[in-house]
Every structure is written in structure tokens, then in C-alpha cells.
Chains A and B, each alone.
Chain A
Amino acid sequence: MNPLLEVKQLKVHFPVRLKSQFRPAYVRAVDGIDFTIYKGETFGLVGESGCGKTTTGKAIVKLVEPSAGRIFYDGKDIARPMKRAERKELARNVQFIFQDPFSSLDPRLTVGKIVEEPLIIHGLGDAEERRKTVAKLLTDVGLSADRAQSFPHEFSGGQRQRIGVARALALNPSLIVCDEPVSALDVSVQAQILNLMKTLQDSYNLSYLFISHNLAVVKHLCDRIAVMYLGKIVELAGKQSLFEKPSHPYAEALLAAIPLPDPEALMHDEPLEGDMPSPIKPPPGCPFHTRCKYAFARCRIDEPQLLPLDGDADHLVACHLCHPDTGTIHKIKK
């Protein structure tokens, strides 16, 4: 399989000013992550608010500048500063779908104009060709082509997200970064959009980076999933193996915390205590040790590396308990 996008030791730090402190402090939004997205794959990035998943997505489309690390798209480094023409070239291949379908569409443009705009910027086709392309795109996302003259406010939330999808597809990209594309939608509409994204993946030959806090949605759509916590990837595995055998204590807790829509399956496990530490001052050692019920002395000093599990090279976990060769205490479960 060919890697389409490779992220290597990506760091994004934002400077903040703290009171009575002269040295600048940094929010370590993304703090050294590695992952690869292969062609035709859907890669999921899950985690709770503030874990750095959105920042990662934004760094890939160059909406934020990385502080360190490299991002390779099709073998070319895109993390470095780029010229205008290079950025345009990148935008043709990598597109973004935003979370909120209400604020991500210009209220003063017709839907036709919104979808046509990328084509104009990139000088693709004449007016007649563009009109045809827009009509095809709108039909492809399940809207009727004659609604190109309507304005965004005339559409419902689900329909607006369809417009956002059509806009992202306009340049025929190979990778779309989707930042919580369905979390603002009701369940019945969410299902429509998820199905649409799956259908389009086949017909447009797309790869997705799918960012979400909703594990059920990620499980439905993604092939491989990375779980992020406090700017770091703590577990990265194929869908099946992650959901059957979550190995990082955080991934385990995250899965256990989802309320299942089944009154017979009540949550029994004690929920994870406490809150995520501040990304300005991440704890030393393992970022999760402050909330981890298995934590031991080493976790507080030594930061675990993201390493493959025994017998499963595709299942990476950053936890001392999972790598007995590097530690002495084995994971004890009830």
C-alpha cells in the first residue's frame, strides 16, 4: 500500500502569556505525533476536547503552522513554508470539511457560487463547464441541481453539510480532512451524511482523515484509528483490533464511558476520574498517569513510546504496561 500522507514528529505549540511570568509559555496542542494515511483509507483521529485532534487536521491543510516535525503528502514535505503556487497545488489535493455547517458557508453567496469558487480560483474550465461541474457535484451529494441559486439559509443543517462536502469535492482532491463533520447534526441526518461520505469515497477514490470525538461514528467509518490524549497518540490500531482489545488504559476507559443505547447494558465500571491536565504544563512521564488506575512509579517519570504490541505489529500502544520487555510490572486486570 502506498502512503498518501505521512506525519512525522509533528508538534504544534501555541504561545500564551501567563500572568506574572516573563518567559513565554506554550500550549502544547500537538506534541510529537506520527501516523501514516494510505491511499483509499479512512483514518480516524479520536479524543476528547483539547487533545489536539483538530489542530492536527488544521496543520495538514496548513491552516496552522507546525512548530516542528514534517508532513509528507505524496512524498513531498508540506510542513515547511510554501510559495503561493505550491499551496494552491496542495489545496487541489487536500481539502477540508468543517464541523459547523452554519458558520462555514458564506451566507451571502448562492450555493452554486460556494461550490464553484474553488474552480474559479484554480482556473478550471469556462463558465459553462463550471456550471455543469457544479450541477454534477450537487447531484452527487444528494441535492437537486436546480437549487444552485438558493442561499445557505434556505437549507437544513444536513443539507448544508452536503454543500460543504460538495465544495470539498469540487477540485477532485485525493485526501479530505473531515473535522467533526456530523457532530452538529441530529442522529437521523448524521446517518445520511455518513452513508454519503462512504459512497463518495468509492466514486471519487478518496482518502479521509476523519476527526471525531464520537467513537461509534469513527468505528462505523474508519479503517484505522488513532486515539489522542493531551497532544499525543496513545494508541493506534486497526478498527477491529482497537475495539476488541483496547490496550491503552485511556482507550479502554474511553470505550467504557460510552453510554450504549441499551437499557440492559448499564455502565458498571467506575468512570474515569478527574480532568485532562493543562496542555500548558503537561505532567512528566506518561501524559495519562494522573488519571490512570494502573499507574505505577515509572509512569510518573518515564514517558512511554508508541510501540507495537507483541504479536501484532499494526497495533501500536504507548504504555509501559503493554511492553513488558521494557518494564517489569505486567498489566493486571480484574
Chain B
Amino acid sequence: MNKPELLAPAGSLEKLKFALLYGADAVYLGGTMFGLRANASNFTLKELKEGVEFAHNLHKKVYVTVNIALHTSELNALTNYLKELDQIGIDAIIISDPAIISLAKENTNLELHLSTQQSTLNYEAVKFWKEEGITRIVLGRETTSEEIMEIKKHVDIEIECFIHGAMCASYSGRCVLSNFLTARDSNRGGCSQICRWDFDLLDKGGKALIGEKPFTFCTKDLSLLAYIPDMIDIGITSFKIEGRMRSIYYIATVVDIYRKVIDEYMQQKENYEYNKEYEKVLANCANRDSVPQFFDGSEGVECQYYNGRVEISNQDFLGLILDYQDGYAVIEERNYFKVGDMVEFFGPNIDTFQMKIEEIIDETGETIDIVRHPKQVVKVKVNKPLYPNDFMRIKK
């Protein structure tokens, strides 16, 4: 049984570093061209080079999305871009448009992964792409565990599946609501998430069908935390987390939890016990409900947000650890905290622990009770050592 790859989103160089430090085996990101998250910070070639060096020094990988629906005028520029990606040493590109296959083969040595935009859901399609030289398929998010098993049975190829994050309400690639309602091209990086808007629903005679809440396409998020052992047993190569627009705190928290679950199962498969506490951490970190969606075959009314979604601004992230000196953590504030609060520290080099805040010292050396200014740097007495880039969060 091979250990799966934990693949995290990197919307910026900072997020790339946090994702890898917190346990991702690889990251995926967009360059400034041809990627589907036109509004993420994205990477210049210079940043990309730095990101690749950072990842490779940790023996980890970087994949670049080149997955927009291409237009004819872009094909020439694309060839040069692919050559540059190849020179930088990225580990694979994620494509949806097969025009790229021949361009990449003729001009580069890039490994090719097929994007979920192709909505690959069956083994005949997987066989086709394998014969074309694609080395990994990111399956459509509508596949169930049985379907993935059957695909694995028929084709020996790397399979990547989403395990966590937001879902498209449609088949990927088959929604252009953004194009029609906001003139932003959803298959070219401009998705304006019309699926989260409210609409009035009428029957064919024009009579309004009024529920307690208006109609929406909005789906709950995906979380397959409880199914990680099943996914490992199926032999899925890569477990993908969605969210290139998410914060460093979100990325670190989600990666940290999935890393723990994968490692715990791999280390003692026979005696593995699912830790429900991890679910709570993910739930606290997210601002939306999550369900297994299609994976367990239970997709239905419970996967939708018809009853109104509550997107609470996340206040859990209290501070980022900048340093640790003489029993005091130097912390940059992100949300209000005070003496007496129960908090929790986590990071890639420590075991998560809780404590009650007993002493806070501000920049001038004065003892204070409350930290309420954004990015204020304070010292908090902590008995266990901490490291830069550890996090302090609320203990719920």
C-alpha cells in the first residue's frame, strides 16, 4: 500500500510555504496566465522559481495549473510559457485542453496531469488519456468510491481526488452562469460564483414556488476526512484540498489535520481509530458546512444550502508565532484575545497543546490584559517552546 500524496492549494508564495511546512507533499498553483483562478494572487515566473526551489529542498513537488479553455490566439504564447515552466523545473502541469498535450510533448519534458475540468468519470475515458501520455487524472467530483475502485481495476494510472473544500454545483466545465450573468468567463478563470446567488423559482405556469428560503444552486463543501482510510485502501494516488483563495491559517489547519489522519492510518492500519476531534478543528476553521458529497453515494438534498448558509467570519485564528524567547512567544495578533482565554497552539514541529493565557506584554514592555489591534505584536507567556509560523487559535 503506497502512501498517498497530500496536495494543497497555494494561492501565493506565502501559502505555498505554509502548505509545505504543515505537511503537504505537493502544492498546486496558478501562474499569471492560463490558470482557472484569475483572482488568486498567482505566481510570477520569479516567484514560481522561488516556490519550486523551496519545495524541492524539502523533497516536495509543485504542479502548475494550465487549465483554462484556450482561445486560438493564445496558442503561440502558450508554447513559450510551457517552455519557461519546464526550465523552472516544475513537476507537472494540470491541463484540461488537450491542445496542450502535443505542444507540451513537442516543446518540453513536462509531466501532464488532466484537470477535473474534463469531468473524467469512467475508465474508458481514463484509458484514452493514458494512451495520450497523461500520467495522472484528477477525477470529476461526481465519482463515488465504487466508481473510483472500478476505474482503478481497469486502468493502472495515478488517480487524484478532491478531499476537502468548495464544490461546483455543476459538472466542472459545464457551467457558464458567470459568462451570461456577469460577463466573466468561468472556464477562463473568471467564475463569479453565481451558484451562491438566490433566485426566485417559478413553475412552468409562472406560479412562484416559495420555500422558507429562496432557491439557490449553493452546495455545501466537501469533506472526506472520515473516508481517508477507504481512499488509501482504494489506492488513490493524490488527495487534493481545494482553496487557492483561502488564508494561510485555513491552509495550515486543513493540511495539518489531513496529514495527521493519513499518517495515523498508515502507521497502524489494524488499530486505527478515527479521531472525531479533528472534525471539530476543521469545522471551526471553515465558515461553511461540509459533507462527503458524491463519494459515499449519498448526494441529495442534504448536500445543498437551501436552508440558508451561515458564513461566519472566522475568529478562531488569534495569532501567528513570530519567535519564542525565554518562555515567551512573540505573537502577531490576527483576532482579539485576552488574559484568561483558553487557547491552543499548533505547528509542524510541535504537538498541539492548550493553555490558559496568563500574561501578555506589549511592545513597550507594559503588561496588558487585552490584545485588540490588528497585527499588534505582543509577548505571551508560554511554558512549552514554539517556533516561527506556529499558530495560536481559540480552544473551543
Instruction: Please say whether chains A and B are actual partners in one complex.
Output: no
The chain B residues found within 8 Å of chain A, CB to CB, are none
The chain A residues found within 8 Å of chain B, CB to CB, are none
